[in-house]
A and B are shown apart, each in its own frame.
Chain A
Amino acid sequence: MYLTREEEKIMEGEIGENYAKMLKILVKIGEIYNADRLIPISSAQISGVSYNTIGDAGLHFLKSLKGVKVKVRSTLNPLAFDKRYLKELDVDRTLLEKQMEIINAYKDMGIITTATCTPYYYDNVPDLGEHIAWAESSAVIYANSIIGARTNREGAVTALASAIIGKTPNYGLHLDENRRATHLIELDFEPKGEDFPLLGLLIGKKVQGIPYLRISGDYDDFKLMGAAMAASGSIAMYHVENFTPEYRNAMGDYVEKISIEKDEINELKRNVDVELVAIGCPHVSPSELRKIAEFVNGKKKRKNVELWVFAARSVWEKYNDLVSIIEKFGGKVMVDTCVVVSNAGKIFKKIGTTSGKAAFYLSKEKFGGADVVVEDMYTLLRSVVE
């Protein structure tokens, strides 16, 4: 791999051992994937934020980077709680203190501590064709597919290393030739509502590559579909005909055809008498927040069902009028955290969500093993109102 003189100097430790270590990680990853060189990035999204997932070891590593600063705009993934709801989220003193130490370590590096999986709404917004290094899988697939920015599925450590060096190895989805479709998805139905996240879960299991779809939906439908694909599989990009910015040149001669029937989707549908309706995995868009507020406005909440909405702090601030309506109804709008990385899955045993991704994780033992049903937003909201 070609290194500039400046990069060689960093490798030799000229600006410090920690910078040398971070660059070494990028160079090794570059060698593994046959990158020719490092390329500048315009932003980073960093995972490995919740104390529930990285633990004391992760915290120890982050503290070892003391004095190191990031070079590009960098934002964080959600953490274990919203500080206003410590009791509701069953946060003990250790979790609170350790989580704040993690956040402070990131803050000292110059990272913006907005903690969201949807930085692309306001906090960290890339343009078409921009090279970035993002680690949150649902944000990676959104950035590549819907925005047309370019990122591989970075790890928590490689995204951090990229943020600190301001570069990423030039391979994979940074290159035109690797952004074309590998699979054509053929459906015998028009997806609606919860079909989008359920379809995403199925595609994630069937496809390793870049699927191409001929369906119609809106940004929120595709956000939920993509997040589910990235959770149940390793997909980092898809194309939707007449919708995503790069679909025109996406089809090559050798795409594999995959058929999915309505029956397969229907098999994933189930009925659960839910205790919690969780919306916002990935965090809600302004339009999702508006739909929720308009639906619950003036209605009465059922006593034995909670409504928790998860949003980026920036969306919560900008649309405080909508938040007030939801709170007046008796729902909660939480920021900085989500249904997966908080203790929500351990508190509630029956959860309804719009998210295939949340269902994928929450049903696992490690996250509480709850009974989870995926339904469209309005079906879920109807189960919360009297």
Chain B
Amino acid sequence: MILKGRAIVDGFAEGEVVKFDKPIVILGDVNEREGKILGREIKDKIVVFPYGAGSTVGSYTIYGLRYYNNAPKAFVLEKAETIVAAGAIIAEIPTVDGIDISKIENGMHIVLKNDQIEIP
């Protein structure tokens, strides 16, 4: 199955999905030093969630994932907003939005090519 979205940061990524069903409060839910979101490992994973929320400083938390060598391979979103989009751009994490994430399950192995997702 192929899902088409909109590329926020172009890139190629292949890996295991860690999925969050609820919006992520970036400054608060993300632990950039340990590479965890709400306690779950996200380093080198493809992180799928609806959208980001919370403090405007959150973009630096996403940059922190790269700075501490804990970045995910990609972000897949329902809807990008200012905090995650700007954070993903400065951290250079491939990011796509406009994806119906109900089609993606936790633990799946997926491939991201710029603006599209391939589910084998």
Interface digits, B49-76 against A, CB 8 Å rule (1 contact, 0 not)? 0000101111111011011100000000
A234 cross-chain contacts in B, Cβ below 8 A: 53
Size category of the binding interface on chain B: 20 to 34
* A88-96, A122-130, A152-160 - the one binding chain B: A152-160
A365 to B44, CA, bound (A): 29
* B35-43, B84-92, B105-113 - the one binding chain A: B84-92
A25 to B90, CA, bound (A): 8
Closest Cβ of chain A to B75, distance in Å, is 13
A24 at the interface (CB under 8 A from B): yes
Q: Which of A139-181 contact B (CB under 8 A)?
A: 152-159, 161
A98 at the interface (CB under 8 A from B): no
B80 at the interface (CB under 8 A from A): yes
Interface digits, A57-68 against B, CB 8 Å rule (1 contact, 0 not)? 110110000000
Closest Cβ of chain A to B7, distance in Å, is 9
A200 to B53, CA, bound (A): 19
A56 cross-chain contacts in B, Cβ below 8 A: 64, 67
Given A29-B82, A32-B97, A57-B64 in contact, is the A155-B89 Cβ separation under 8 Å? Answer: no
Closest Cβ of chain A to B65, distance in Å, is 8
Which of A28, A29, A31, A154 is within 8 Å of B56, CB to CB?
A154
Are A156 and B60 in contact (CB-based, < 8 A)?
Answer: yes
Are A55 and B64 in contact (CB-based, < 8 A)?
Answer: yes
A135 to B86, CA, bound (A): 13
Are A47 and B57 in contact (CB-based, < 8 A)?
Answer: yes
Are B81 and A32 in contact (CB-based, < 8 A)?
Answer: yes
Are B32 and A157 in contact (CB-based, < 8 A)?
Answer: no
Size category of the binding interface on chain A: 20 to 34
B13 at the interface (CB under 8 A from A): no
Closest Cβ of chain B to A214, distance in Å, is 30
A309 to B81, CA, bound (A): 35
Given A29-B86, A53-B27 in contact, is the A47-B56 Cβ separation under 8 Å? Answer: yes
Given A32-B8, A161-B86 in contact, is the A156-B59 Cβ separation under 8 Å? Answer: yes
Closest Cβ of chain A to B26, distance in Å, is 10
Q: Which of A1-55 contact B (CB under 8 A)?
A: 21, 24-25, 28-29, 31-32, 47-48, 53-55
B99 at the interface (CB under 8 A from A): no
In this complex, the member of A28, A47, A159 whose beta carbon has the largest number of chain B beta carbons within 10 angstroms is A28
Given A21-B90, A28-B89 in contact, is the A58-B63 Cβ separation under 8 Å? Answer: yes
Closest Cβ of chain A to B96, distance in Å, is 12
Given A57-B68, A60-B67 in contact, is the A48-B60 Cβ separation under 8 Å? Answer: yes
A25 cross-chain contacts in B, Cβ below 8 A: 85-86, 89-90
A114 at the interface (CB under 8 A from B): no
B82 cross-chain contacts in A, Cβ below 8 A: 29, 152-155, 158
Chain A interface residues (CB < 8 Å from chain B)? 21, 24-25, 28-29, 31-32, 47-48, 53-58, 60-61, 135-137, 152-159, 161, 234, 366
The 9 nearest A-B residue pairs measured at CB: A57-B64, A58-B60, A157-B86, A57-B67, A157-B59, A155-B82, A155-B56, A54-B60, A48-B57
Chain B interface residues (CB < 8 Å from chain A)? 6, 8, 27-28, 32, 53, 55-61, 63-64, 66-68, 80-83, 85-87, 89-90, 97
